[in-house]
Structure 1
Amino acid sequence: MSTTESLGLTPRIWAVGALCRAVADALEARFNPIAVRGEISGFTRAASGHCYFTLKDAGGQLRCAMFKRAAQMLDFRPADGELVEIRGRLGVYEPRGELQLIVENMRRAGQGAWFEQFLQLKAKLEAEGLFDAERKRPLKTMPRGIGVVTSLGAAALHDVATALQRRVPHIPVVLAPSLVQGPDAPPTLVQALQQLSQQPNIDVILLVRGGGSMEDLWAFNDENLARAIVDSPVPIISGVGHETDFTIADFCADLRAPTPTAAAEMCAVPQAELLSNLQLWGGALQTLVHRHLDTHEQRLDRAQARLGRPSEGLNTEKMQLLRLQQRLTQAVQTRAQRCHNELATLASGLARGVQQTPATARERLHRAALRLELLDPKLVLQRGFAWLSDIDGQAITSVAQTTEGQALQATLADGVVELRVAAPTRI
């Protein structure tokens, strides 16, 4: 029997809402304002700007709400796993009867355990070069096949399959099922990646999972999985969680997508775009062919206009040949007549020359003999002149050629006289 019943008192019967308000008033009077420390989990930001998350530690957890005005005052971006100190007011969310902390102020208090492990592994792998952009491989725009690693029961599988069917229905898709949450997930993820990378005609692999808290996504922060992604011979696109979620797998992947659907959209060029490009290329090719045909047809028209009908061209050439033949005949006849006339003239002159040659030749010979006699030196000597020379027969024509006592010869018309120079005298 309860103490109330033993005292004969009837317990008050509360309305649910009134009881929630009473509890809220009691909390307000007993605890508020309150400061609490814990680790963020399941942080989300609504479209309204309000933020919702769970604050927890090893001993318990508390649902928290941070309205837009307080969220705008933050100087950092809260993330799952961070250890924070919160100031606010503890109350009851009456529609659900849940204990709720309305956050008025939040600041970092250090890194939570999960987040600390994440940062340590990230720093280690980054130092080894596993995140280097130079290491990452380019994706094929038209892969022969697409591999998908996710859970069979995950909503991400439905989203990826829908996106691939809509965008690239012509590309085959191979699924390698795996766990995506819990301590057994990393080995199955590694096995699934290795299985797909060994299959022929798989040119890209999608590693996908829906959103969740840091604990939910922790399998994608496994070191063995990170090294399997880097060692994969096939490029990998990671699509883990929401746009604000980052895992080690995202840093190691060749390409990170903000969501699973985005990963499916980024793995290949859509069929519609390829068909559109093909149609554009086909149209451009058809236009080019027509343009070439038009150009050659115009050239053919011009050539045909210049050529005309072959029979007309042949008749024209025949007429030209006849004209040339007539001109040639006339030229030959004219030339033959001219040669005939010249030959007749030469024959007549030759006949006259033959008749006149003996008498003319005798006359010319007589005149030449007379001129020759006039040039005979003896005729000059007969007129009283003499030819003076030295004893060697060299002609003496100047006083300067003689010396006193020199012996000379004087040739006269009838003989030679021996002389000696007495004394040369110039006139």
Structure 2
Amino acid sequence: MKSPNEVLSVSQLNRQVGEYLSSSFPQLWVSGEISNFTSAASGHWYFTLKDDRASVRAVMFRGRAQAVGFTPRVGEKLEIRAGVTLYEARGEYQLQVELMRRAGRGDLHAAFLALKDKLVADGLCDAARKRSIAPVPVTVGVITSLAAAALRDVLTAMSRRAPHVRVVIYPAAVQGAEAAGQLRAALANAIERNEVQTLLLVRGGGSLEDLWSFNDEALARMVAASPIPIISGVGHETDFTLVDFVADLRAPTPTAAAELACEARTSCLAQVRSLVQAMRAQQQRQLTLSALRLDRAVGRLISPAQRLAAQRTHLRQVVQGMRRSLTQLTRQRAQLLMRLSQQLTRALPEIGPRQRALEALQRRLEQAWARQVDQRHARLISAEQTLRALSPQHVLDRGYAIVMDAQGGLVRNALDLQSGDPLSLRLSRGSAQVEVLQVTADAPEVPSQE
């Protein structure tokens, strides 16, 4: 038992506290969600075990870690058997893990998987939807925090690989409650300004909680819908966020994102040099071919005096040929005209006899026509007389009348009438209205029309 007045150094105090913890807390099972996981080069595992109200650091040495059979992932829920020790150099207590087993996944990881499945179902993670990155951009945009080491990594890589490419920074928080909203606002600003060919969405590594703003569903959908191709470079190579799945290209680190954003200046210069050499070689081939064509053309070229002399000779030959052709054509046409004149003379009929025959036929036609007119006129007069004799008016002129009843119908039989019936009589001149006084059955004798 130490004396209460004894003065201890910090090292002595931490050692005694460590001994007390080791003796007071034998190995026990502890459950929690893993975060800040690091696998050191030595093979040791360092991580934090937490629940919704507290956290504790833990270490699992290489020999024990190799027997676990799996590598823990950030966000998983684990059950560990560990002893409580004190890390004397910093005065922090920690769990020294002996055994580890899965106890289900953490709430954040479960939410991450649910959001990922939703985005996959909506087709936002399809490779066919994603666009290719411009290999030689003029301007590249970077969305990250101004204080982030990721920004320095990107600017260093860009200045080293592509100093000719302009970099535009759209600042936004990359961690904390307001980070997701600021990232969305920065992305919307970059899209509206439309001044870059490629966007880099980057930040350094961290726990699942630190990277959670990059798992925002609204941000992921904005990244998928962006008209500007986006490269995500969030965390380390083992870190994955929702924007990694919907971005057009995922880089394992911010530096890798900068390298993927554009071709290296040396590579571009080498391509330009190669193209210039190819162009020079093509130009030389074209000059050589042109020189050969020029030599052949010069060999076929004659002097203007020689060409004019040849053309004069050709012209004289053409004129002589035309004269010969014209003389021959004139002679042929004269002969043809003579033959046609002779044929016409032989084929010309005797006009005198035919003229006399035509005059005789004309006289006969006139006589026949006069006889036809006289005959037709006589038949017309006879028909006119017959028509006049048969006309009802002619009958009325001889003293007859047409009798009609009150309805205007003709009365032919006296037996159809009764005493008192009104009748209408149509005479040769005018008409009269009468009334039947008596009806007799005897028909009167019709006088002869002769």
**Normalised by the shorter chain, which TM-score bucket?**
0.5 to 0.7
Aligned residue number for residue 75 of structure 2: 81
Please give the per-residue CA displacement for 1:240-289, whole angstroms capped at 9, x wherever unaligned.
11111111111111111111111111011112111011112223333454
Q: CA deviation at 1:290?
A: 4.5
Aligned residue number for residue 153 of structure 1: 147
CA contact (8 A) 1:31 1:90 kept: yes
| Cα gap change, 1:129 to 1:299, in 2 (>3 Å) | closer
| Partner residue of 1:207 out of 192, 198, 201 | 201
Q: CA deviation at 1:12?
A: 3.3
Equivalent residue runs for 1:381-396 within 5 Å: none
Equivalent residue runs for 1:64-75 within 5 Å: 64-75=58-69
Task: Say whether residues 1:173 and 2:161 are aligned partners.
Answer: no
Aligned residue number for residue 24 of structure 2: 30
User: For 2:166 and 2:203, how far apart are their aligned partners in 1?
Assistant: 21
Task: Say whether residues 1:261 and 2:255 are aligned partners.
Answer: yes
Aligned residue number for residue 51 of structure 1: 45
Equivalent residue runs for 1:157-236 within 5 Å: 157-236=151-230
Q: CA deviation at 1:29?
A: 2.1
| Partner residue of 2:271 out of 277, 290, 294 | 277
Amino acid at match of 2:98: E
Q: CA deviation at 1:292?
A: 6.1
Amino acid at match of 2:48: T
CA contact (8 A) 1:85 1:107 kept: yes
Amino acid at match of 2:142: V
Unaligned runs of 5+ in 1: 311-427
Equivalent residue runs for 1:204-353 within 5 Å: 204-290=198-284
Task: Say whether residues 1:121 and 2:106 are aligned partners.
Answer: no
Amino acid at match of 1:74: V
Q: CA deviation at 1:19?
A: 2.7
Is the partner of 1:126 in helix, strand or coil? Answer: helix
Q: CA deviation at 1:293?
A: 5.7
Aligned residue number for residue 136 of structure 1: 130
Amino acid at match of 2:92: E
User: For 1:197 and 1:273, how far apart are their aligned partners in 2?
Assistant: 29
Unaligned runs of 5+ in 2: 303-450
Q: CA deviation at 1:198?
A: 2.1
Please give the per-residue CA displacement for 1:191-235, whole angstroms capped at 9, x wherever unaligned.
111111122342111111111111111101111101111111111
Aligned length, in residue pairs: 302
Using the size of structure 2 for normalisation, the TM-score is: 0.62
CA contact (8 A) 1:143 1:204 kept: yes
Aligned residue number for residue 416 of structure 2: none
Is the partner of 2:193 in helix, strand or coil? Answer: coil
Aligned residue number for residue 40 of structure 1: 34
Is the partner of 1:198 in helix, strand or coil? Answer: helix
Is the partner of 2:98 in helix, strand or coil? Answer: strand
Amino acid at match of 2:191: S
User: For 2:118 and 2:279, how far apart are their aligned partners in 1?
Assistant: 55
Amino acid at match of 1:195: N
Amino acid at match of 1:234: I
Segment drifting more, 54-63 vs 203-212: 54-63
Q: CA deviation at 1:300?
A: 9.2
Identical positions, percent: 50
Task: Compute the RMSD of aligned alpha carbons.
Answer: 2.7
Q: CA deviation at 1:147?
A: 1.2
User: For 2:247 and 2:93, how far apart are their aligned partners in 1?
Assistant: 41
Please give the per-residue CA displacement for 1:349-399, whole angstroms capped at 9, x wherever unaligned.
xxxxxxxxxxxxxxxxxxxxxxxxxxxxxxxxxxxxxxxxxxxxxxxxxxx
| Cα gap change, 1:10 to 1:64, in 2 (>3 Å) | closer
CA contact (8 A) 1:242 1:259 kept: yes
| Cα gap change, 1:10 to 1:67, in 2 (>3 Å) | closer
Q: CA deviation at 1:294?
A: 6.5
Segment drifting more, 148-157 vs 61-70: 61-70
Amino acid at match of 2:270: S
Q: CA deviation at 1:297?
A: 7.3
Using the size of structure 1 for normalisation, the TM-score is: 0.65
CA contact (8 A) 1:144 1:201 kept: no
Amino acid at match of 2:77: L
User: For 2:80 and 2:228, how far apart are their aligned partners in 1?
Assistant: 46
Aligned residue number for residue 341 of structure 1: none
Is the partner of 2:63 in helix, strand or coil? Answer: helix
User: For 2:291 and 2:97, how far apart are their aligned partners in 1?
Assistant: 82
Q: CA deviation at 1:291?
A: 5.7
